[in-house]
Chains A and B, each alone.
Chain A
Amino acid sequence: MTTKTAWLAPFTHPTPERLEAWFEREAAAGWQPDELGDMSAIRLRMRKTKASQVRYVVDPQQRVDEDYIATYQDAGWQYVGELSSLHVWRRRYRDERPEAFTDSASRRARNRRLAWVTGAVGALALVGMVIRVGLGVAGIGASSEDWVLEAGVLALIGLPLVAVTAVLLRRRDAA
């Protein structure tokens, strides 16, 4: 079985639409994700299959119940798995590309759900960066000489997440 690894897929394709488009390009090239697990957001295993036209849907949901799964499955969607609270669905099609979100209100709500997560994590990372810079400049803490590196890592995490949040919120307004 031929496989390949996609690293940090939800981060390199940070909005639902971009991640869906990436999955669909991969499917058209004959690559499908294996079963998704806890580490798949970081290391996603893809296996070579027959190239096919597949619609992917990414639905950010913190908590889902059986009714959520049943509603999608009844409507013909196959559950792929969860990527850090992003529930991934797929469906093969021939003619019209199927949609799971068919009105602007539910698309806005989807972006809002994801924006809450990216905004909260991004803001926490930036607050952590500010605190680390403050402690470093004041020379407080056992490893105070490492503050530039640690603050830099927090900025690298926080700034892209805040940028993604801004994109999602702009789309929410425009949808």
Chain B
Amino acid sequence: MESSSIGSKRILIVDDEASLRTLVRANLEVDGLEVSEAVDGIEAMRMLAESQPDLILLDIMMPGKDGIEVLEDLAADEKLKGIPVILLTAKGEQEDLEKGAALGARGHITKPFDPEQMVRTVKAALGMIRR
């Protein structure tokens, strides 16, 4: 399963919940992915300006700058435009999901999620495995 031979892929997880970041990090790291964390949209944009990850896991409902606003910023930035984004949503946020899809999000993971499933979705988005 671990196929990254050209250095590991980097994932940025943006979520205001510390335990959720820890959860995502633990599951992705055990599969050999490199994970960095941002607590909200503002910190995420700051980190993205410095270095670009291979994929962003983005929570929609966040204080400060929410997921949709981050997506808008990404779409407007030439350098960041191409980074695939997977949204982390809760059930019943259909409207946000549609907005996100329109702004170019690659997919979404609905909370509560199965970690194994989450890892597969991320890997598929990175082209490491077939869906």
A and B co-occur in one complex: no
